[in-house]
Amino acid sequence: MGKLIRLIFLLILFPGGNIILSAQSLTAKEVVRRAEEKFRGEKSSYAEMSLKVIRPEWQRTIEFKTWAMGSGFAISLITSPPREAGQSFLKRGSEMWSWNPSISRIIKLPPSMLSQGWMGSDYTHDDILKETSAVNDYSHEITGEEEIEGRMCYKIEMTALEKASVIWGKQVRWIDRQDFLVLKAELYDEDGYLVRTETCSDIRIMDGRSITSKIELVPEDEPRNKTVLEIRKIRFNIPVEESFFSQQNMKRLH
């Protein structure tokens, strides 16, 4: 009874305390799920983004649009530079295709291509089209809390499930406790070696919610290389049907 009275007293003094208590009761998987939905939308999303590939000798920028519905459907369209504009990529379930207007061909991408660099960047095809599910393909454990850029974060270790067909054997994510934003991520291969580190910044309000609009990716074995993803526009839970994600539509996007 004494503990109950103290709890009621605290809630009267600090009415926001119930939010903190509910956040503390979340499982690691629920935290990851909330972070994914915050960034990708609960049902669907549309985004306009730029991808800057930075190398010691050169740089290039790719602009593209992406539509997604749940974790099973995604389609991306390159809009710039002119040489690559019009190329599109489609994901339906576990299958992926690319369309190149210069040769007027749709090519099915084999699973081995998921780990290859997308458009010459440090991102993979899997990253862009989200073949892997951070929620369903991994086990999750909160291993501690750390502060990043003044925000207290859950530190969550994600280990790939045995039956999951994934690129990363393990991921470690730092997810902001307040807004469920991924502020940092480390990705490891199946042997436990760190492959790359991502840092997320430039928090902005877009379509009514706060998100990190800039992600910097640095490969561990080539620290002078970098890929920077910037979100310029994003809309969540847009009206879109499964039929939108078709091979025919790959050719018609603009």
Q: What digits encode the pLDDT tens for the residues 41-93?
A: 889 999 999 999 999 999 999 999 999 998 789 999 999 999 999 999 998 98
pTM value is 0.83
Q: Which domains does the chain have, with CATH numbers?
A: 5-250 (2.50.20.10)
> What are the C-alpha distances in Å from 101 to residues 58, 79, 116, 236?
26, 12, 21, 29
Q: What digits encode the pLDDT tens for the residues 149-198?
A: 999 999 999 999 988 878 899 999 999 999 999 999 999 999 999 999 99
Inter-residue contact 22 to 41 (CB < 8 Å): no
* Length reported for the chain: 254
